[in-house]
Chains A and B, each alone.
Chain A
Amino acid sequence: MRILVAMSGGVDSSVVAGLLKEQGHEVIGATLQLYDHGAAVQKKGACCAGQDIHDARNVADRLGIPHYVLDRESRFRDAVIEDFAASYARGETPIPCVRCNQTVKFQDLVMLAHDLGADALATGHYARRVEGSDGAELRRAADLTRDQSYFLFATTAEQLAFTRFPLGDYRTKAEVRAEAVRLGLAVAEKPDSQDICFVPEGRYHELVGRLRPEAGEPGVIEHADGRVLGTHHGIGRYTVGQGRGLGSASRDGETPLYVTGLDASRRRVIVAPRSGLADTEVLVGEVNWLIPPPEAPLACQVKLRAREMPQPATAFWDAEAAMLRVVLGEPAIAAPGQGCVLYDGDRVLGGGFIRRPQRVVDSAGRAA
């Protein structure tokens, strides 16, 4: 097969390229230039391409495969970075990796692969793609600590059919690194990437403030019962469930307080004790189904954030409104903007983005 491999320059996708080449496939490497690295690290004169791009090219040279760097800066800025900042400005907590997978990676690279006459696209994601009776199924990786199926919920059935995840069956990262050593890849010992790629220093609120100044404007921290407990330096610094960065509003007497809502229009951060934090029901939009959309209530498990195990829930799909209502078995923290992904055991059934519950901004402008 002719296979296009998305190579980030990290150990995972490098091993993917090496394994497929070893299996006798015609491998084509592609690395996405997503943002101006020099600008991101704020170092004058630094090249637009970061070290990762050079690493990817060196791996491709080592493997003897053609390799291309694709300029996706403007696409990434529009589809991912702007969305990231806009999401914070709305009082949500974005997951840029999903947006990136959804647009720059699976939409664009699948199209490129088709244009290049490739038979498949392969990535270094930790997830499994299994050929089921009704087509390709997305499943959790064998290594549950590395499983990235959550970030892949927006991959359409059509894209999934065309995609391969050769690392999904590896049980530990150590095994993958061992493969890199065996294949003679210089990136074998390269540390895992951290944080959000386009905010290397982790100071994402600076970026958000630059793109969306309103997310950096001060406002009040208000208890859910209406008492003003303090002030803040922009809602872009907060996320639902957060207990830090609240200053004098971090406690109500002896009771620790947490962010339960972000009211962008009034620049209010709403806090409450832990008991007021959890939701029993989650509203989900922009849903992507990897099974036929269920007409009846669907018993399943859900993940409301990347780092947690799926929890029991029942999903109600409203096809007309294109909205998913998920009733949780146990109350849990749901941050608007994050993904809500539905599982049946290992299998991903679908997923969408958590919407803000209407209760945060009711007619009185008060948290209910």
Chain B
Amino acid sequence: MSRLYLDANASEPLRPAARAAMLAALDVAGNPSSVHAEGRMARKLLEEARGTVARHLQGRAQDVVFTSGATEANALALHALGRNRRVLVGATEHPAILQAVPEAPRLPVAMDGRLDLAALDAMLGAGPPSLVCLMAANNETGVLHPLMEAAGLCRRHGALLHVDAVQVLGRVAMDWAAIGADSIAISAHKIGGPKGVGALLVKPGADVAPLWRGGGQERGRRGGTEALPAIAGFAAALDDLNLEAARKLGALRDAIEQGAGAATAGRGAPRLPNTACLMLPGLKAETQVIALDLMGIAVSAGAACSSGKVAASATLQAMGLGEAAACAIRVSLPWNAPADAAEGFLAAYSQLHARLRR
């Protein structure tokens, strides 16, 4: 059975350029911290990759810290920037943030999933100096927060802003320089790079205390020998990104939404071009995901838990979608989605409809 992979927001298929770069880097024997020629070779690869990350986020290479992924990058930002500050998080943030600071007050979102700017303004005005954590694009709905406006409010109130840019990277153009976030977290495997590497970009001069002691790598901000092959693949994936191709996925996404005959979460808001969150009240998300999987189609519901269980979407609950939150699946088109992805998906999805009518 040929399968149709429509779960890019969980992990993008590897880009051939990233694979090639990783294969080449696997043969670099040296440790980037070593003084000899082999070490220097490794160091060169590492610093080139660092420069690539910086270029894509419009920052400086020396302000990039490589991590094991976005969860660690987010944790590092909370650790480094959140010290002595009240942390405020968006209500629809990824569990990587929500579970890291479970007590943090949540910034409400509107019905369409976008941040409530008036509420942000009020909450920033009401309390002590804050660190605000916001995702640029939501992993489940693809909804884009009004980041520029939020950044302006943060500046006005003297708050720091950390942006989880995991899903937006490579899918929608962002003017990072204009937004001026204090830190940005990204992940390689969400853009077609390898799993196991991410990065945090901080502002020049930021004091980044490491999450653990031991090892002086990454300018003392993250101990442990850098995962060079993965980092090389990360950089290659970044250079392989194509915003025009990503934009074109929007036509496939629209075809899926129109053909599905289901309500779409966040439809009125600006969204990622590859993401559709379809709600089919009456049929549990879990059942839909399993049924589609058995029909050869990979989609997801909510954020994947390590146990593999399918839990009701906290994001959709925060959007006030109530019951429907338990009946929503996420279809997210990968960079290499086939031209007939919409037809393939809709053929299977219509069978779900048929079961519902039964």
Contact = CB atoms under 8 A, between A and B. Distances in A.
B309 A69 contact: yes
Contacts of B306: 47, 49
13 contacts: A33-B307, A47-B306, A48-B307, A48-B309, A53-B307, A53-B308, A68-B310, A69-B308, A70-B286, A115-B355, A116-B290, A116-B294, A117-B291
B350 interface: no
Please give me the 3 A-B residue pairs with the lowest Cβ-Cβ distance, nearest first.
Answer: A49-B307, A71-B309, A69-B309
A278 interface: no
A47 B305 CA distance: 10
Contacts, number: 47
B293 interface: yes
Nearest to A26: B294
B309 A116 contact: no
Contacts of B290: 28, 68, 112, 116
A267 interface: no
The interface centre, meaning the residue of A33, A53, A70, A115 with most chain B CB atoms within 10 A of its CB, is: A115
B288 to A, nearest CB: 9
B41 interface: no
A231 B134 CA distance: 58
B242 interface: no
Contact of A28 (B283, B294, B355): B294
A117 B287 CA distance: 11
B3 to A, nearest CB: 12
A53 B306 CA distance: 11
A128 interface: no
B287 A115 contact: yes
A66 interface: yes
Contact of B309 (A28, A49, A66, A115): A49
A71 B293 contact: no
A236 B294 CA distance: 46
Interface string A113-156: 00111000000000000000000000000000000000000000
Contacts of A49: 306-309
A66 B296 CA distance: 11
B311 interface: yes
B306 to A, nearest CB: 7
A67 B293 CA distance: 10
A254 B150 CA distance: 80
Contacts of B287: 112, 115-116
User: Interface size bucket, A side?
Assistant: 10 to 19
Contact of B310 (A48, A66, A70): A70
A99 interface: no
Interface string A235-267: 000000000000000000000000000000000
Nearest to B306: A47
A28 B290 CA distance: 10
B309 A33 contact: yes
A54 to B, nearest CB: 8
B307 A69 contact: yes
Contacts of A112: 287, 290
Contact of A68 (B283, B308, B311): B308
Given A71-B286, A112-B287, A115-B283, A66 B307 contact: no
Nearest to B355: A115
A297 B134 CA distance: 70
Interface string A263-301: 000000000000000000000000000000000000000
Contacts of B355: 115, 117
Contacts of A223: none
Interface in B259-317: 283, 286-287, 290-291, 293-294, 305-311
B307 A116 contact: no
Interface string A17-44: 0000000000010000100000000000
The interface centre, meaning the residue of B286, B293, B306, B308 with most chain A CB atoms within 10 A of its CB, is: B308
Interface string A58-100: 0000000011111100000000000000000000000000000
Given A47-B306, A47-B307, A49-B309, A66 B286 contact: no
A71 B311 contact: yes
Given A115-B283, A115-B355, A57 B308 contact: yes
A57 B283 CA distance: 25
B137 to A, nearest CB: 26
Nearest to A32: B309
Given A47-B306, A53-B308, A66-B294, 9 more contacts: A48-B307, A69-B310, A70-B286, A70-B310, A71-B309, A115-B287, A115-B291, A116-B287, A116-B291
Contacts of A48: 305, 307, 309
A112 to B, nearest CB: 6
Given A112-B287, A115-B283, A116-B287, A70 B294 contact: no
A178 B306 CA distance: 32
A49 B304 CA distance: 13
A48 B309 CA distance: 10
Interface string B174-194: 000000000000000000000
A70 to B, nearest CB: 6
Contacts of B308: 49, 53, 57, 67-69
Contacts of B305: 48
A71 B310 contact: yes
Contacts of B311: 71
A92 B125 CA distance: 56
B122 to A, nearest CB: 33
Nearest to B351: A117
Contacts of A70: 286, 309-310
Contacts of A33: 307, 309
Contacts of B286: 68, 70-71
Nearest to B311: A71
B323 to A, nearest CB: 14
Contacts of A69: 307-310
Nearest to A118: B294
A49 B310 CA distance: 12
A28 B287 CA distance: 13
A57 B307 CA distance: 10
